[in-house]
């Protein structure tokens, strides 16, 4: 599989896939479930999704289920946030005025040549640093 066909899904995409009221629900769900399409995430994604679904929504069982789904779906493409990624994220955060969380996704996508998919229109999509879930449904190279 061509690495450029891999989609790096941030926490907002995984949460949107679980939230039927989210504007990106259908597109995010399709990306999360399409096993023909390689996807990746960062280990921090697990904490972010657990925070929203388990903490904010008060649904700990759903949070555990979602986190397990992310681990299973990403497999070897669930990346740890290490020193090199943090270094790159800090530079990107300063350059674009982003949180370290958002910048870590940008740094990982750049490092691996992946497309970053995010539901964060204000900070990532509008700046051209990511594509929205409904714009990420590219045909796979044959």
Provide the residue-wise pLDDT of the chain in tens; the chain has 142 residues.
455 689 999 999 999 999 999 999 999 999 999 999 999 999 999 999 999 999 999 999 999 999 999 999 999 999 999 999 999 999 999 999 999 999 999 999 999 999 999 999 999 999 999 999 999 865 555 5
* φ/ψ of residue 25, rounded to 5: -50, -55
Q: What is the mean pLDDT of the chain?
A: 94
CB 126 within 8 A of CB 119: no
* pLDDT tens digit sequence for 26-64: 999 999 999 999 999 999 999 999 999 999 999 999 999
Crossing angle (nearest 10°) for helices 11-18 and 43-50: 40
Q: What does DSSP say about strands 115-117 and 78-79: parallel, antiparallel, or unpaired?
A: unpaired
| pTM listed for this prediction | 0.93
12-17 long-range contacts (CB < 8 A, ≥24 apart) are: 12/118, 12/119, 12/120, 13/117, 13/118, 13/119, 13/133, 14/41, 14/45, 14/49, 14/66, 14/70, 15/48, 15/49, 15/52, 15/53, 15/66, 15/119, 16/119, 16/133
């Amino acid at each position: 599989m061509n690495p450029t066909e891999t989609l790096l899904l941030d926490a907002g995409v995984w949460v949107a896939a679980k939230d039927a009221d989210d504007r990106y629900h259908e597109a995010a769900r399709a990306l999360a479930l399409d096993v023909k399409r390689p996807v990746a995430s960062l280990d921090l994604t697990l904490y972010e999704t657990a925070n929203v679904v388990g903490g904010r929504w008060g649904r700990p069982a759903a949070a555990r289920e979602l986190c397990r789904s992310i681990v299973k779906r990403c497999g070897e493409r669930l990346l740890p946030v290490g020193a090199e990624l943090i270094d790159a994220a800090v530079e990107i955060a300063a350059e674009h005025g982003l949180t370290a969380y958002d910048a870590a996704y940008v740094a990982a996508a750049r490092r691996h040549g992946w497309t970053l998919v995010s539901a964060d229109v204000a900070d990532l999509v509008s700046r051209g640093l990511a594509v929205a879930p409904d714009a990420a449904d590219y045909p796979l190279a044959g």
